[in-house]
Amino acid sequence: MKKTEKLKQLIDHAKELILEEKKKFRIGQLLKIKDFPIVVIGDIHGDYISLETITKKLEVEGEWNKIVFLGDYADRGPSPLEVYTKILEMKCSHPDEVFLLKGNHEAVDLIEFYPHDLPWHIKNAYGEYWREIYDSLMNLHRTLPIAVIVESIALLLHGGISPEITPKGLEDPTKEELEIILWSDPSEHVKGTTLSNRGAGVLFGPDVSFSVLDKFGVKYLIRGHSPVTKGYRWDHAGRVLTIFAAKHVYGLESGAYALIDSKDPPIEIKLF
């Protein structure tokens, strides 16, 4: 079997398993999961070293029941294909335990972003057959859910929220709602929302976090999207947590992931 076909089969198998989530865990594009502990991993951006570090720690510590990735798997880092192979193998090996969310880098058809160097890496690895792999990954991206609710504890998504976001908006988002979810960031200096300097999404203030999280019946928003020096950052009176895994790509002091459990407090930060 040529290596193109091997990777394409892995992508297609993972896509089938993601679509089957609708039978057990999903309403539209919203996942509802439980069974603690739940590991939450932020942006990887082709940083295979960081991904391997996290997965080896999880293997040694054995302290997870579910894993949720918050999106942004490729672009910027040197090893996007290795990252995709790893996370898709994890999904195929543990279809009811591993969940992949859509980030803004999995929505190039919604809003273009830069750099989008994934095609270059695929061309370099697969030559004239690169388009088969790229198209398969784009089809996979279209199947990805956009958010997770951990009942009474947390809302998990890639970017952010606005006052208008509702459960229906997470289940079946409009293009405008999807932009908010994938592109937005928290700000301590904003009341309500304002335009983002990213050119897409919004900056949302603490008042938005409090009202939306209360509306969803959860205490925390856990999101990625923003590289933060220590790999994590708490905002909005400790109700919004940003986590980021691409330590080496961004030259961060540390990378981090989160562990959600039934204890109090329910969220523990794990550094690497």
Q: Residue 126's pLDDT is what?
A: 95
What average pLDDT does the chain have? 97
Using alpha carbons, select from 88, 96, 103 the residue that is nearest to residue 144.
103
Q: Residue 78's pLDDT is what?
A: 98
Q: Residue 141's pLDDT is what?
A: 98
Kindly report, residue by residue over 75-102, the tens digit of the pLDDT. Answer: 999 999 999 999 999 999 999 999 999 9
Kindly report, residue by residue over 140-177, the tens digit of the pLDDT. Answer: 999 999 999 999 999 999 999 999 999 999 999 999 99
Token pair, residue 58, equals 């999880």
Kindly report, residue by residue over 43-71, the tens digit of the pLDDT. Answer: 999 999 999 999 999 999 987 999 999 99
Is 40 in a helix, a strand, or coil? Answer: strand
Residue 116's contacts (CB-CB under 8 Å, 6 or more residues apart) are 75, 105, 108
pLDDT band for position 3 (50/70/90)? Answer: confident
Token pair, residue 75, equals 């672009």
Q: Residue 1's pLDDT is what?
A: 53
Rounded to whole angstroms, the Cα distance separating 112 from 227 reads: 19
Using alpha carbons, select from 263, 66, 8, 34 the residue that is nearest to residue 151.
34
Kindly report, residue by residue over 34-46, the tens digit of the pLDDT. Answer: 999 999 999 999 9
Domain tally, the chain: 1
Enumerate the active-site residues: 105
Q: Residue 63's pLDDT is what?
A: 79
Rounded to whole angstroms, the Cα distance separating 226 from 224 reads: 6
What torsion do the CA atoms of 205, 34, 175, 158 make, to the nearest 10 degrees? 50
The answer to whether 193 and 203 are in contact (CB under 8 A) is: yes
Of the chain, the percentage scoring pLDDT greater than 70 comes to 100
Judged on CB neighbours under 10 Å (0-12, 13-18, 19+), 246 is buried
Output DSSP code: residue 246. -
Strand ranges, E, within 154-230: 154-157, 185-186, 193-195, 202-204, 220-223
Strands 202-204 and 193-195 come out as antiparallel
* CATH code at position 192: 3.60.21.10
Domain of 237 in residue numbering reads as: 3-271
* Predicted confidence (pLDDT) at residue 2 exceeds the cutoff of 80: no
Strand ranges, E, within the chain: 26-27, 30-33, 38-41, 66-69, 98-100, 147-150, 154-157, 185-186, 193-195, 202-204, 220-223, 232-235, 240-243, 256-260, 267-271
Strands 202-204 and 66-69 come out as unpaired
Average pLDDT value for residue range 19-30: 96
